[in-house]
Structure 1
Amino acid sequence: MPEHQRADARRNYARILAVAGEEVAAHGADASLEQIARTAGVGSATVRRHFPTRRALLEAVSRERIEALCARAHALTGQDDGRTALLAWLDDVLAYSVSARGLAAALAYDGPVHENSCSAALEEAAEPLLRRAARDGALAADITVSDLITLIVGIVLATEHHPDPATRASRLFRLAVTGLSPQS
């Protein structure tokens, strides 16, 4: 939110963002923009002026969670075991995405990557973790953070209506990490 905006515009932005957070938590990425406007006490044009796209709204709602995930990636970067550090971070991304309805949609790559600030921030923060895991031989050199985020988004979206989405998502992620063959 630009600081040069009028005080009433800043208040509207903050009120819309607070209501949007509640609506997205309750209804996921498909939360009604009209309901958000009504509950915030503003017109739908005001919502669209502050958030011209649904993605812009979801990214704003998810900003604090994304910042926490970025901070977690930085904290894990110095760990000795690159694979363990990367998997710990990916577990956090998965857990956040399952618990924060709308976050997976905010992370989805359905447009130009440079327009997805949530994914771009996570990619930048996790790149050192990925490089370390690859250098340790724990990860194929051609795997990208984008690949891993896309995997998590797919798992979260596929399990969001499961009776126990967190357990199901975690199981599918473990399956992806360990592979299909039994361990000998």
Structure 2
Amino acid sequence: MKKLFAGIVIGCSLTLSTTVFAQMVKEYKLVESTYPVLMNGANYSNEEWPILNYNGTTYIPLKELAEGLQAKVRWNEELKRVEVRGEQSNQAFVIHEIDGDNGSYTITGEARVFEGVFQYAISDGHDYLLTDHLQLEAGAPEWAPFTIKVSLPQSKLPGNGTLMLEIYEESAKDDSRMNELFVPLQSFR
């Protein structure tokens, strides 16, 4: 009788725990997409990483989507997050990567500017926190790599707003700004 009772108790416990566990697990039924997806005008197709659909919403693997749009995807081990950054550019500047946070940033890119000189500034949307210039190894029409290292004290960081990098050339005729490129560095809330 004791064995029968113990068996019933164990059986009920297993049934109850399986039911509770099944309620905790949420299932998603993804189906392979039957319609094409174009990225920058090209049809996306990848047998290893197909386009999926869930309840009318299209899912494409993040790395495949970002690379298809010429963006970079990386895992930030220190902050434990995925970071996606599109390349920002105009006819004179290309930003390849922005790394850092909380006032300390490293910006790498290439520039094609007259006499190999360009100016840059960091603003908080209201005030300029830093202005400087950079002399490159080559001037236009050549593209030359650059690295800008920025270090702002915590007291200058906005409590609520976005730090913006402004990169530009100054006109040889009248010192007006040319080929301006505005790049967000970090948003604070």
Is the TM value for this pair above 0.5? no
Higher relative contact order (CA 8 A, sep 6+): 1
- Which structure's CA Rg is the greater one? 2
More strand by share: 2
- Larger helix share, 1 or 2: 1
Q: TM-score, normalised by structure 1?
A: 0.24
